[in-house]
Amino acid sequence: MRLTRIVNEGFQSLGGNKMRTFFMMAGTIVGIAALTVIMAMGKGTEKKVMERVNNFGVRVIMVTAGGGKGHSPPQEGVTTLRIEDAQAIRELVKQDVEIVSPGLMKRAMPVKAGGSQAQPVIHGVEPDWHDAWDWYNRSGEPISAEDMATMARVCVLGKTVKETLFGDTDPIGSYLQIGEVRFLVKGVLESKGTSPMGTDFDNRVLVPLTTAMRRLFNQDHISYVRVKVSDTGQLVQIGERIRLLLHERHHITPPEEDDFAIVTAADIAKTARGISGTLSLLLVALTGISLVVGGIVLMNILLISVSERTREIGLRRALGATQGDIFIQFLAESLAITLLGMALGCLIGWGASLVVGMYAKAPVIISWEPFALAVVFSLMVGLFFGIQPARRAARLKPVEALQ
């Protein structure tokens, strides 16, 4: 009962000067609101990245032409990867993988149909491309082995290209022109969404690989080889075997740089999380600085409050209050300020997160973690910065305080 009465007296004191109490809470409110928004956006971004990684494929190794350790799409104009490399990879890992599918890629190719024009990515693919990407037709027929054998001038459209060139009409059986070559549309792909790099996966046109290499682009090199493994636990080992094979085939010896890159979904996710984590850490550090500044303001205003309430403290001591009672009262005031600021900061942060998600179209996920961190930070700030004013108030001598 005694402790409850002391705490109540502290709350009454705070209610007696609402403006000063608000200024003491301001730093905590801003810091906690910022922390809540940052964590909501961070979790939303991470979820979005993982969705894109799943679009890429979690059991996949991509061997792309061109050196470097980045996770960008295959480099155009690089001739280091050949169809023979894909055949050698297929032979090397045939016991451990489901599919080895080579492909050729050209970006921003002019494609026309009637009076409409688009600039999609053209992919020369083999018939197993659909199984390699777990990406099938919404309508029509896929690229077939017969199309490959005859270098047929047929194509399958992504959703974005279909809508750009044909709108709501069914394009199957219609013709379009890629560069100077006329193609028959034989299928439309299901919508896939966004790639891990943030590009539109559906802005593509598939043609038979032989057609792309001989009739369309007249080249003997490919852009990538997609390897779909049976067991995700074997990704690293199979990737290293492929690396050693290509070193041998391309006559690469250390310290020479690779003229190809090997990327898995785990690599992309790790990089994305690393970037997101670094940014979140920086923003959380800035939030921490805001909370520390708010704590310093809190401590200084409480110290001023102790000076202004000297007679009150002396009177309470004269009527029997102990040093511990005074200490608890002022410490309770400090904790009440930071916890109330935390509650208001969380409400403002959650509201701001919803507004950001609604109007800025940014991915946000509201979870319990910001609230837990907010409670911990608020308690730490209230305790750390409230101790000094509470000690000063408790050390005042009753006689001196009443003079």
pLDDT level of residue 8 (50, 70, 90 thresholds)? low
Hey, how many other C-beta atoms are within 10 angstroms of the C-beta on 273?
A: 16
CA distances in angstroms from 344 to 338, 358, 378, listed in the order given: 10, 21, 12
For 212-250, the pLDDT digits (tens) are: 999 999 898 999 999 988 877 788 888 888 999 999 998
Stated as kind and residue range, the H or E segment containing 182 is: strand 181-189
pLDDT score at 190 = 93
For 284-315, the pLDDT digits (tens) are: 677 777 778 777 877 887 777 777 677 777 77
Mean of per-residue pLDDT scores for the chain: 80
Q: How far apart are CA 80 and CA 96, in angstroms?
A: 25
342 has pLDDT over 80: yes
> Residue holding tokens 């809540």?
36
Q: Of the ranges 9-18, 23-32, 202-211, which one carries the lowest mean pLDDT score?
A: 9-18
Residue at 77: amino acid letter: G
Instruction: Give how far the C-alpha of residue 32 lies from the chain's centroid of Cα atoms, to the nearest Å.
Output: 21
pLDDT level of residue 127 (50, 70, 90 thresholds)? very high
Which is more confidently placed, 170 or 374? Answer: 170
Instruction: Give how far the C-alpha of residue 111 lies from the chain's centroid of Cα atoms, to the nearest Å.
Output: 33
Which is more confidently placed, 98 or 75? Answer: 98
Say what percent of the chain tops pLDDT 70: 80
Burial class (CB in 10 A: 0-12, 13-18, 19+), 329: buried
Identify whether the C-beta of residue 46 lies closer than 8 Å to the C-beta of residue 238.
no
pLDDT level of residue 165 (50, 70, 90 thresholds)? very high
126 has pLDDT over 60: yes
Radius of gyration of the chain (CA): 33
For 103-124, the pLDDT digits (tens) are: 999 988 899 998 899 999 999 9
pTM > 0.85: yes or no: no
pLDDT score at 10 = 47
pLDDT score at 368 = 77
Q: Where are the beta strands (DSSP E) in 66-120?
A: 97-106, 111-113, 116-118
For 33-66, the pLDDT digits (tens) are: 887 887 777 777 777 766 666 666 678 888 988 7
Which is more confidently placed, 149 or 283? Answer: 149
367 has pLDDT over 80: no
